[in-house]
């Protein structure tokens, strides 16, 4: 895990993830605050601006939307070469020569990657909450709804990390792993909605987070368990692939 942490620092992965997941926590509330003035300066009048929801709640929701769209892209591109890149550079065998087994290597990668994503999701949500309150006033009596949303997004991004690691273990090119992961993340939700199977996918966590409700819904525990189930399946497939490759080496 120390090696993975140092690699995240050395490769600027940590910095990229911090910028990608935290910057919108400041930008989205500010853009929302400035939007009426922007619309008025474009000659669109004030009526349209008055129809906009100018609130702390909307600022947080706007951040969460960006977190899914831009954050997913940043996470995938940052992690796409975590396994395949090491195979291509020949650095994968270094820990193995010191007696570290494949399972330990994988769990270290998933723990560090997922942990970083979880932390930044939670921190970004907290920043959006506080900055939104400073710009628009408070809509929430406590931090709990925002922290719940940030935690659910953090768990979703941990799932994303397990997905990218699996794709990176099966596909030799990091770009191919990124393409496959992004296709899964952005094409599956509308397909799942059409097939009415969304409740069986981790994306249900994002819907729960977007409500910013002070109380969890009846299905949130099911969504969390389903997400862990998907992560377990992806981890099992990745470990099987890595062990097969190690035996063939």
Q: Over the stretch 12-62, which tens digit does the pLDDT of each residue have?
A: 899 999 998 999 998 988 888 887 777 667 665 555 556 677 888 999 999
- List Cα–Cα distances, 99 to 95, 188, 248, in angstroms: 7, 39, 18
- Taking the domains of the chain in order of start, what are their residue ranges? 2-248
Q: Are 54 and 136 in contact (CB under 8 A)?
A: yes
Q: Is 75 exposed, middle or buried (0-12, 13-18, 19+ CB in 10 A)?
A: buried
Residue 227: per-residue pLDDT: 96
Residue 43: per-residue pLDDT: 62
User: Nearest-CA neighbor of 52 among 66, 37, 42?
Assistant: 37
Q: Are 224 and 153 in contact (CB under 8 A)?
A: no
Q: Over the stretch 131-170, which tens digit does the pLDDT of each residue have?
A: 999 988 888 888 999 999 999 999 999 999 999 999 999 9
pTM of the model: 0.91
């Amino acid at each position: 895990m120390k090696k993975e942490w140092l690699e995240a620092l050395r490769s600027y992965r940590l910095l990229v993830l911090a910028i990608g997941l935290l910057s919108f926590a400041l930008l989205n509330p500010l853009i929302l605050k400035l939007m009426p003035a922007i619309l008025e300066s474009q000659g669109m009048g004030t009526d349209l601006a008055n129809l906009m929801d100018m609130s702390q709640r909307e600022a947080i929701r706007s951040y969460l939307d960006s977190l899914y769209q831009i954050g997913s892209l940043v996470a995938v591109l940052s992690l796409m070469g975590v396994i395949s890149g090491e195979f291509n550079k020949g650095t994968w065998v270094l820990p193995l020569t010191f007696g570290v087994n494949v399972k330990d290597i994988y769990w270290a990668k998933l723990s560090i990657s997922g942990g970083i994503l979880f932390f930044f999701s939670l921190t970004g949500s907290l920043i959006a909450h506080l900055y939104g309150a400073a710009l628009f006033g408070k809509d929430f009596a406590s931090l709990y709804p925002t922290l719940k949303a940030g935690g659910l997004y953090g768990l979703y991004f941990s799932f994303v990390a397990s997905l990218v690691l699996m794709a990176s273990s099966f596909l030799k090119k990091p770009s191919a792993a990124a393409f496959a992961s992004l296709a899964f993340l952005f094409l599956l939700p509308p397909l799942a909605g059409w097939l009415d199977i969304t409740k069986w996918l981790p994306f249900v966590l994002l819907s729960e987070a977007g409500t910013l409700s002070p109380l969890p819904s009846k299905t949130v525990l099911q969504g969390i368990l389903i997400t862990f189930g998907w992560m377990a399946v992806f981890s099992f497939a990745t470990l099987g692939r890595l062990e097969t490759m190690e035996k063939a080496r």
